[in-house]
Chain A
Amino acid sequence: MDPLAEVPLLPGEERVTDKDLIYMCPFSGAVKGKVFITNYRLFFKSTDVDPAVTLDVPLGAVSRVEKMGGATSRGENSYGLDITCKDMRNLRFALKQEGHSRRDIFEILFRYAFPLSHAMPLFAFLSQEKFEENGWSVYSPMQEFRRQGLPNDKWRITFLNQSYELCDTYPTVLVVPYKATEEDLRKVAAFRSRGRIPVLSWIHPENQAVIARCSQPLVGMSGKRNRDDERYLDIIREANGTTNKLTIFDARPNVNAVANKATGGGYEGEDAYQNAELVFLDIHNIHVMRESLKKLKDIVYPNVEESHWLSSLESTHWLEHIKLVLAGAIQVADKISSGNSVVVHCSDGWDRTAQLTSLAMLMLDSYYRTLKGFQVLVEKEWISFGHKFASRIGHGDKNHADADRSPIFVQFIDCVWQMTKQFPTAFEFSERLLVTVLDHLYSCRFGTFLYNCESVRDTNEVRTKTVSLWSLINSDQASYINPFYATESTRVLYPVASMRHLELWVTYYIRWNPRIRQQQQSPVEQRYKELLALRDQYLKKLEELQLSDSAPHLPNSTAPSPASPTQRVTHLHTPF
């Protein structure tokens, strides 16, 4: 049979080339086979091992392609390609050392893995996929604010940013204090980095305390003040009628905040903002996070550092960073619960700020813990408020060493996973959703995570020209449901953010290692689905029997009521 027939192709996906080569599998050694390159993926299938070894990697996940060895290098399988992926793995392929055998495949791979660097479109714009559900309709800012009970007499919706003039990295619809005029907003924008003024993210349905997000104030070395900004924050503070101080959470370590003054930024000084208390949350910047995850990769791929696993894990500091992010979000949620409004910012307000507001909202509002609600949360706090996905992930871009890249969103999803571990019945979605989201964070198959902000997305007509990731998810919801979800009302979840209670997300970070127990789909979920299927099967059988039994065939004299039908059935054997 033609092995090509087995390459899965998406609508709009086209084969570009194929090549016989050797996959240097770090777990099972060299495997002969054929690699297929399409405009979307790299697909490898072994030719001489049983069971066949396959690889199916979206080209979007490729961060770097390199040639290894030269025409004269010695040793078996020393000549070929080395591919670094964004999803915690590396792939190595070896070729014959004759006649520049790798030149073509290298160039094709390089071009299709980094289309933007070659003036080619991302696959999301070529995809012809159709789904039952339209994921672009999941999030409507107006609907979401209405769900929160907004506008109300203290908070209003403004369209001042309709054409991205106030702030080009914010969405068009913003919620601001009723008392602040459009003129006030403009003045505040001038004092906030990149015009990212404090706006409402979430309001507590009872005590009306709000989470507001923004960027750092432009205090600078001279310690500039801005009366409008000061007054604006005070309006936010008093909007829910408390006399308490407003808490400003600066996500950065204190020293970093001070250092930012040198480049015109800074933080809210005590003298200027007398009704506010400033709390630093000690979360490090994107560069620290990038290096931390890189260290983590070093100890888990290809081989797990066995002899000193725990201290090696500790030295990556990855869990410590997770801890700090979660601990920060807990503080935010706690302030809100006790009726104090908070303002959250870091430097630009699109990395750590997004982590903190979205995690705090996840703790406070059970709606965001549903499958739909979580999509809204990601759309709102991350995508619409301009987390720079394009820069942080580097979609289709060949500059693998770009200092703007950082796994901030991965870290957020990890925090969500930690919460699902601590509250196994509080989330409607399963681990599979989280892994799928991360897979398509890189894949470029959907438009959801493309570009840095709404204004650029509008220019590129993402909503009309690409498919949303949520279309895929919502057309197959059953696959992403947590079987143990227990609908609950309004409980606030406070996870324990202590090193002792955080776990490494082994099933994501070490999922390529076959020696780690594979639970792509946990056996528990599998079992749950079987039980559901069994139930359906029984109910169907029951219905059939009711129909066939509805003839006057009564086993005893008591008339069967519709609620408790009598039936007759032979042995049913369960399928397991």
Chain B
Amino acid sequence: MEFSEHIKTANVEDVILTQPFHPPVKGTLCVTGHHLLFSGRDGDSSAQLLLLLRNIDAIEKSVENLVGCSGLGSRSSGQSERSTGSSGTITIKCKDLHILQLDVPGMEECLNIASSIEALSSLETVTEMYPFFYRPSFLSLQGQWGLSPAEQDFAQIKALSDRWRLSEVNRDYFVCPSYPPAVIVPRSIDDETLAKSAKFRQGGRFPVLCYYHRENGKVIMRSSQPLPGANRKRCKEDELLLQAVIDGSELGYIIDTRSAQLAQQARMTGGGFESKSNYTSWKRLHRNLERGKVLQESLIKLTEACSDQSHNMDRWLSKLENSKWLSHVNSVLATAGLLAECVEREGCSVLVHGSDGTDTTLLLTTLAQLILDPQCRTLRGFLALLEREWVQAGHPFQQRCAHSAHSHARLKQESPIFLLLLDCVWQLERQFPLALEFGEPLLLQLAQDAYASDFGTFLCNSDKERCALGVKEKTHCLFQFLCRPSERDRFINPLYQPTELAIWPSVQPPSLQLWQGLFFRWTQSGQYLQEAREEIRNLVMQCCRRGCGQSAVQLEADSSIPSSGVVDC
């Protein structure tokens, strides 16, 4: 395999691994095509480390020549050719914010290892990435890839309304390269009209349905910005499409995730917004949400503040505020709340877009669905939501998650949009501890997998790219994996109690908290809280078992009455 040419030294003995909250361990370090492997001497499992090279964001190395300095430990004769006394230190900063340090005896070995890590962690070819090699015995590549095909989602809506249809206008990805092949659109609009509307939208992202409100029949649509440009071009088909979304005289809202000023400026570069005169039934609301570089810098600042170990504690809150991360969380949640309010309380359909329609747009549509739709709050429902609104809808994961907060590389398209989504979901979970079927562990898992994963789910930037590379045939699906009974147990919230009601988050600053589970994951001992979480789980399980589970199970066995409805706590 070509990886071997990057590996000059595959094994080093007597390496010392140092990570927060663990005593330093001496052991063997091993570099493979996709992993960094460390195995402690004592065979103690806490001293084992298996790190995906893809997870490494940045490394720092320093070598010292310590000739003449003795006492570095006895060496076996086989290693005597090693330049005695020299050593090096590699600091590894991971995309999941973990920081660890390796002290490698031997300058040359150290440099070799470092260059292997540098080369292998930044491989650009998708098909060389680990998901294409991950073949665990308990998973089969024959299984279904993904949770719910578009046909299935559409079937639900079809049962409630005949105003919508599933269009395959994008079956070859010609109309919109970042959309999936099948999308839901108004029944009265034919494919030809869609194709024309797509030409009037950035990246071909014409308005498609992403949420149908069961009670009032209103919808959330999403798209990218229209392209009126400086000449105020218009597109009849696009107007027709939007008109078809709402019934006759009704009013719809357009939530533009840019400020009015930015939307104006976008006209100079060919973009723009839906003008009042051409889209008479639509009222535009501008809510400026930060994206791209600004978010990336916010994450970097926050991570710096979190990893600052100096005891200058009295500046912590200011640093936290200066990173602006929580104010981004605030504005996203507030705007998602506004979107949900428009649909639920005002009874209006809403179109959401920014410029590309692949980032902040998806944040809003996802969170609004969590707020409104109890189905999305189950474990499976949530993963299906992510699949629809992020993976299928073409959030460019590969570009956005190429690096995280530590990288020294020049930033290109990196932006922690998906991390911001997970943070907002965490805030919801914190404010409504019973409403979500899943908890923090799932969000942490997703945060990690988005940046580096055994699975193919977050590879590539769009469905088109995934198809071209055979991702669905040659890698395993993370969401399917997380729904397996064995995994499911780890991620279930034991206190879950489904509610049909919308969950309206409070967005007052004191109601929002830093997500310590993510940002302090590696720098604080979460041991007690983890223990507490375990205890709570056991308590609830016990309580259920004692209270009704046992008697119900017994009853079922004795009288063969189906248990549905008996045990739902």
Contact = CB atoms under 8 A, between A and B. Distances in A.
Contact of A516 (B506, B535, B561): B506
10 contacts: A310-B317, A422-B528, A423-B532, A498-B313, A510-B510, A516-B510, A517-B505, A523-B432, A527-B495, A574-B569
A243 to B, nearest CB: 30
B566 interface: yes
In order of increasing CB-CB distance, the 8 nearest A-B pairs are: A535-B547, A309-B509, A310-B321, A314-B317, A499-B316, A499-B313, A517-B506, A310-B317
Interface in A416-439: 422-426
Contacts of B543: 528, 531-532, 535
Contacts of B529: 422, 424
Interface stretch (A47-55, A57-65, A384-392, A501-509): A501-509
A564 interface: yes
A130 to B, nearest CB: 34
Contacts of B510: 300, 304, 309, 504, 506, 510, 516
Contact of B506 (A311, A515, A555, A572): A515
A199 B369 CA distance: 62
Interface in A513-540: 513, 515-517, 522-524, 527-528, 531-532, 534-535, 538-539
Interface stretch (B87-95, B195-203, B257-265, B548-556): B548-556
Interface of B: 306, 313-318, 320-321, 326, 431-434, 495, 497, 505-506, 508-511, 513, 516, 520, 524, 528-529, 531-532, 535-536, 539-540, 543-544, 546-548, 551-552, 554-555, 558-559, 561, 565-566, 568-569
A74 interface: no
A498 B315 CA distance: 12
B520 A564 contact: no
Contacts of B320: 310
A531 B552 CA distance: 15
Nearest to A542: B551
Contacts, number: 140
- Which among B313, B433, B495, B511 has the highest number of chain A CB atoms within 10 Å? B313
Given A423-B528, A567-B551, A572-B566, A515 B508 contact: yes
A572 B568 CA distance: 11
Contact of B565 (A323, A523, A535, A573): A573
Contacts of B548: 534-535, 538, 572, 574
Contacts of A566: 554, 558
Contact of A311 (B317, B513, B554, B568): B317
Given A498-B313, A500-B524, A571-B561, 16 more contacts: A309-B510, A310-B318, A314-B318, A422-B529, A484-B536, A500-B306, A503-B513, A504-B510, A516-B510, A517-B431, A523-B433, A527-B434, A532-B543, A569-B555, A569-B561, A572-B565
B568 A574 contact: yes
State the majority secondary structure of interface residues on B: helix
A532 B542 CA distance: 11
A527 B558 contact: no
B473 to A, nearest CB: 44
B495 to A, nearest CB: 6
Given A310-B318, A310-B326, A538-B548, A568 B555 contact: yes
- Kindly name the residue among A498, A499, A532, A534 whose own CB sees the greatest number of chain B CB atoms within 10 A: A499
Contacts of A538: 547-548, 551
Contacts of A531: 540, 543-544, 547, 569
A523 B513 CA distance: 18
A320 B314 contact: yes
A576 B498 CA distance: 9
Contacts of B546: 535
Contact of A500 (B316, B497, B528, B551): B316
Interface of A: 300, 304, 306, 308-311, 313-314, 317, 319-320, 323, 422-426, 483-484, 486, 496, 498-501, 503-504, 506, 510, 513, 515-517, 522-524, 527-528, 531-532, 534-535, 538-539, 542, 555-556, 564, 566-574, 576
Nearest to A569: B555
Given A314-B318, A499-B313, A484 B532 contact: yes
B536 A567 contact: no
Contact of A524 (B318, B434, B509, B558): B434
B330 to A, nearest CB: 9
A570 B509 contact: no
Given A310-B318, A573-B565, A424 B551 contact: no
A304 B508 contact: yes
Nearest to B320: A310
A513 B508 contact: yes
Contacts of A571: 561, 565-566
Q: Which of B511, B513, B544 has the most CB of A within 10 A?
A: B511
B558 A567 contact: yes
Taking each of A484, A498, A503, which has the highest tally of chain B beta carbons within 10 Å of its own beta carbon? A484
A517 B511 contact: yes
A513 B510 CA distance: 11
B495 A524 contact: yes
A349 B247 CA distance: 75
A486 B539 contact: yes
B554 to A, nearest CB: 7
Nearest to A317: B314
Contacts of B555: 567-569
Contacts of A570: 561
A293 to B, nearest CB: 16
Given A516-B510, A568-B555, A576-B497, A425 B316 contact: no
Instruction: Specify which of A310, A532, A555 lies most central, judged by the most chain B CB atoms within 10 Å of its CB.
Output: A310
A568 B544 contact: no
Contacts of A524: 433-434, 495
A498 B314 CA distance: 10
A555 B556 CA distance: 12
Contacts of B559: 555, 568-569
B316 A308 contact: no
B524 A496 contact: yes
